[in-house]
Amino acid sequence: MDDLIDTKRGLQSASMFIDPHLYEVEMEKIFGRCWLFLTHESAIPNYGDFVTAKMGEDEVLVVRQEDGTVKAFLNVCRHRGARVCPVEAGNRRAFVCNYHGWSYAADGSLAAIPFEKELYGGKIDRCAHGLKEVAKVDSYRGFLFGNFDPGAISLEDYLGDVRWYLDIWMEASGGVELIGPPARSIVHCNWKAPTENFVGDAYHIGWTHASSLAASRSIFAPMSGNQMLPPAGAGAQIATRFGHGLGILYDVNPGVHTAQTAEKILAWQATKKDKIAEKYGELKARFYGSHLNGSLFPNVSYLWGTNTLKIWQPRGPSETEVWTWAMAEKDMPEDLKRDIYNGLHGGFGTAGYWEADDNDNMESASLLPTGWQSRKLRLNAQMGIGNDTVMDEMPGVIGQAAIGETSYRGYYRFYDEILKLPSWDAFDLNDEGWKQQLIDADR
Ligand code: UNU
Ligand code: FES
Ligand code: FE
């Protein structure tokens, strides 16, 4: 596995998209230990409210408790392992398994067994058969995450430097809401292919999305067919400690939206910018009005400006279930939220034209390495390598160009680190060496 990721040179082995053994290791070392997105607080406001979610290939029930906290449990009956709750969202005081009728309370405890006395004669330990609880659940600005590892670092520490950027849209904007339930569909790709695309690929916009850009007459339309490069100083890419990264395209927040919707969003944001600048500073106000594309390690992606949040659920090395939420500023008027919802699902939803543009790229990049020779190739993420730097006003490691692969390198740097990490106990939160690793990288 040692030649899998070459951080020093910005290369990755194509086998990472196909190797079934590596996939198992990812499930254990990444999905078993990292903070995984579950849902937004607003989806489960009241006692007994629940949604089902995926953590890796494990399905979990996320339930609002009587005391207002949130717990998550494997959605697996402790009797014979059937799915406890077959519904994706609702409100329940008890979850009754469909198979033999064991029932569980909202706190996961095994509340009742049909004919317990008659059939088990006191010989079953009910306390030992509650739903298996996810070790940690925590929320950041309303976004709920779970972690299977009781020894994991806190969610706040894990988000680390990227919080400064998340706060632009999660806080300075006045807060966002996810408009769900999410659309779900299958893409025949490795889960990392779309995650790396969203972490930092502004390169493909003008080419892969050429027709969509032209047809929508969006703000990005001049890039259609690679007719032009975004001018110098048009954006930046950011890499952080835990692989979370993003790209910024300055001052073009609704760049993907159709011309009509973009106009409404620009007008709306203009009414808020001065207040945001006053409270959070000019830089954050500028980024609020910029387009941010990003991924949180390992498998959440968002497009601020395109109003979408996605999670790429692994289903084996070559299959991914994508869940897509529309996302809007909480204080937006209802009709604008509706425009955004419709526009988003038409663009980046299951059958959206932007989504369709991307899918064949995701699939071919993921499936061609089944070829014994193809999988030996190294994938190249060297764009801008050697120019990465740190800046006073922006946390993380920065690549100062609209198009580059700094955040790809940051994503796979941490991917490599966590695969090799024996346990969170062995992890040094204060080690800043990762920055130098990226800055020193060179072809
Ligand atoms: O999908 C992306 N990676 C993206 C979309 C990046 C920038 C703008 C829009
Ligand atoms: Fe980038 Fe082919 S040009 S994958
Ligand atoms: Fe794309």
**pLDDT tens-digit readout, 9-19:** 999 999 999 99
pLDDT for residue 423 is more than 80? yes
Q: How confident is the model at residue 381 (pLDDT cuts 50, 70, 90)?
A: very high
**Contact in structure between 95 and 85 (CB atoms under 8 Å):** yes
pLDDT for residue 1 is more than 70? no
* Nearest Cα to Cα of residue 185 among 339, 411, 363: 363
Distance in Å, CA 95 to ligand 3 centroid: 40
**Contact in structure between 12 and 379 (CB atoms under 8 Å):** yes
C-beta of 293 in contact with ligand 1 (< 6 A): yes
Helix, coil or strand: residue 348: helix
**Contact in structure between 350 and 358 (CB atoms under 8 Å):** no
Helix, coil or strand: residue 98: coil
pLDDT for residue 47 is more than 90? yes
pLDDT for residue 144 is more than 60? yes
> How far is it, in rounded angstroms, from Cα 420 to Cα 375?
21
CA 188 to chain CA mean position, Å: 18
Q: For residues 198-210, give the mean pLDDT.
A: 97
* Nearest Cα to Cα of residue 128 among 108, 148, 147: 108
pLDDT for residue 45 is more than 90? yes
**pLDDT tens-digit readout, 26-36:** 999 999 999 99
C-beta of 197 in contact with ligand 1 (< 6 A): yes
Q: How large is the greatest C-alpha to C-alpha distance in the chain, in angstroms? A: 77
**pLDDT tens-digit readout, 337-362:** 999 999 999 999 988 999 999 999 99
pLDDT for residue 168 is more than 80? yes
pLDDT for residue 271 is more than 80? yes
Sequential DSSP letters for 250-293 = TT-TTTTS-HHHHHHHHHHHHHHHHHHHHHH-HHHHHHHTSEEE
Burial of residue 363, with CB atoms counted within 10 A of its CB: 0-12 exposed, 13-18 middle, 19 or more buried: middle
> How far is it, in rounded angstroms, from Cα 288 to Cα 169?
6
Phi, psi of 12, rounded to the nearest 5 degrees: -135, 150
Sequential DSSP letters for 285-306 = HHHHTSEEEEEETTTEEEEETT
Q: Determine which residue's CA is closest to atom 2 belonging to ligand 1.
A: 198
Residue 201 CA, closest ligand 1 atom number:
3
Q: Which of 192, 195, 201 to mutate to test the pocket of ligand 1 (most atoms within 8 A of CB)?
A: 201
**pLDDT tens-digit readout, 249-263:** 999 999 999 999 999
The C-alpha R_g of the chain, in whole angstroms, comes to 22
Check residue 26 and give its pLDDT: 98
**Contact in structure between 182 and 327 (CB atoms under 8 Å):** no
Closest-approaching ligand to the CA atom of 366:
2
* Secondary structure letter of residue 163 according to DSSP: H
Helix, coil or strand: residue 440: helix
Check if 428 is active-site: no
Check residue 351 and give its pLDDT: 87
pLDDT for residue 145 is more than 80? yes
Check residue 247 and give its pLDDT: 98
pLDDT for residue 399 is more than 60? yes
Q: For residues 88-97, give the mean pLDDT.
A: 96
**pLDDT tens-digit readout, 292-308:** 999 999 999 999 999 99
* Residue of higher predicted confidence among 55 and 351: 55
List CB contacts of 156: < 8 A, sequence separation 6 or more. 138, 140, 163
List CB contacts of 81: < 8 A, sequence separation 6 or more. none
* Nearest Cα to Cα of residue 354 among 229, 212, 218: 212
Check residue 2 and give its pLDDT: 60
Distance in Å, CA 306 to ligand 2 centroid: 24
Show the CA angle centred on residue 300, arms to residues 381 and 440, nearest 5°.
Answer: 30
Check residue 82 and give its pLDDT: 98
**pLDDT tens-digit readout, 305-342:** 999 999 999 999 999 999 999 999 999 999 999 999 99
Check residue 180 and give its pLDDT: 86
**CA-CA distances (angstroms) from residue 128 to 84, 125, 431?**
17, 6, 41
Phi, psi of 403, rounded to the nearest 5 degrees: -120, 125
Residue 256 CA, closest ligand 1 atom number:
9
Residue-range domains of the chain with CATH: 36-138 (2.102.10.10), 157-440 (3.90.380.10)
